[in-house]
């Protein structure tokens, strides 16, 4: 279905991200609420409604109902992916996804492209748009988006500037997915992280979560903090070197949502209390010229056999990857090491998002 035809579909008032330029009949509600766009079903069953997402820009845009629906579709996508070798899906046949990546990526870019192809769609891709696109000639992001939307049905954007995804969404007339914007947010990573916790632990309410490593620059931990705050009786422990402590905006948000948190310098003590240890690397690329600060922070908190020794048997270790030396390789064989399962879950979540964004439930 062409983008123009999709835009002409009726939009019922549905309480689940949204774009006022594509759905002018929808009224604004607080940013913490997700909105779905919807199209009426085929003629014989007018009572059926197909819900469809708008843009995916920030983790806090999702409410629990939206998260439940995304996770249900992700479980369906697990079955689709398992069966794709025998009978390839045609759910997104005829659709084109453009991936614009201004920063390096392996898992995010490839999982989005794999997700699109597993569902029968096609991909237009640029791996290093910062150097090998018209951005190198000085073209604005807005002009790039206006051009690329003419070639595709959906844009997946990774950018080095915080707020770039919002700018792209405000420009485009097709859905935009934020695949990471500088030190800002990475909402699809947060979705797959929460999905992984649910699949591994069995519940989300009551979780004790240890966020470890580069909390100042890590967009993954920022987005995860926003998203896990949707659940009840959450306790978050921040464990990081002083130079990369969690920023006050996240702490203020957690306070506003009634989420308990505390800072600690003792990883072993925190690990003994947690259901999830979410380790991150110290991000050298965010330190600019201050390599001395990077070297001072790197290697201070490492998940190793000592951590495994105090970690509860039911708990899991997660990492958004890539890792350097912050999780030792001898941890990989422990069943509580969930980070490669976590990466695979990114495929299912991104398949679910593409389906919901382009054709609905």
Catalytic annotation, residues: 107-108, 137, 158, 186
Distance, first Cα to last Cα, the chain: 15
Take residue 271 and report the two structure tokens written for it: 């690990």
DSSP H or E run through 38: strand 36-40
Contact 100, 157 (CB under 8 A): yes
Label residue 249 exposed, middle or buried (CB < 10 Å: 0-12, 13-18, 19+): exposed
Contact 271, 297 (CB under 8 A): no
The 3 state secondary structure assigned to 281-340 is CCCHHHCCCCHHHHHHHCCCCCECHHHHHHCCCCCEEECCCCCCCCECHHHCCCCCECHH
Nearest 5°: the CA angle 216, 127, 321 is 40
Report which DSSP code applies to 28: P
Take residue 160 and report the two structure tokens written for it: 């080095």
Query: For strand 154-159 and strand 176-181, is the pairing parallel, antiparallel, or unpaired?
Result: parallel
């Amino acid at each position: 279905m062409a983008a123009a035809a999709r835009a002409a579909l009726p939009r019922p008032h549905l309480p689940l991200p949204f774009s006022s330029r594509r759905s002018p009949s929808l009224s604004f509600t607080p940013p913490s609420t997700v909105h779905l766009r919807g199209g009426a079903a085929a003629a014989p069953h007018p009572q059926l409604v197909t819900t469809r997402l708008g843009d995916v820009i920030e983790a806090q845009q999702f409410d629990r109902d939206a998260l439940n629906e995304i996770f249900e579709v992700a479980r369906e996508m697990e079955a689709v992916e398992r069966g794709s070798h025998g009978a390839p899906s045609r759910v997104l046949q005829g659709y084109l996804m453009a991936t614009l990546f201004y920063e390096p990526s392996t898992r995010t870019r490839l999982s989005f492209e794999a997700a699109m192809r597993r569902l029968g769609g096609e991909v237009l891709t640029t791996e290093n748009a910062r150097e090998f696109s018209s951005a190198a000639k000085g073209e604005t992001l807005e002009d790039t988006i206006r051009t690329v939307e003419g070639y595709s049905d959906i844009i997946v954007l990774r950018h080095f500037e915080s707020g770039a995804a919002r700018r792209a969404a405000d420009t485009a007339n097709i859905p935009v997915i934020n695949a990471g914007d500088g030190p800002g947010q990475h909402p699809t990573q947060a979705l797959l992280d929460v999905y992984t916790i649910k699949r591994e632990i069995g519940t989300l309410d009551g979780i004790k979560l240890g966020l470890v490593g580069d909390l100042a620059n890590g967009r993954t931990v920022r987005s995860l903090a926003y998203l896990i705050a949707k659940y009840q009786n959450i306790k978050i422990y921040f464990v990081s070197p002083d130079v990369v402590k969690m920023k006050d905006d996240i702490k203020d948000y957690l306070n506003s949502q009634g989420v308990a948190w505390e800072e600690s310098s003792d990883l072993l003590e925190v690990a003994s209390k947690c259901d999830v240890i979410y380790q991150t690397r110290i991000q050298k690329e965010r330190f600019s010229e201050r390599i001395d600060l990077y070297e001072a922070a790197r290697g201070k908190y490492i998940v190793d056999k000592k951590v495994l020794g105090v970690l509860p048997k039911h708990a899991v270790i997660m990492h958004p990857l890539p890792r350097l030396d912050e999780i030792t390789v001898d941890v990989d064989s422990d069943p509580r090491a969930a980070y490669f399962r976590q990466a695979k879950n990114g495929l299912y979540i991104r398949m679910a998002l593409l389906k919901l964004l382009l054709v609905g439930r």
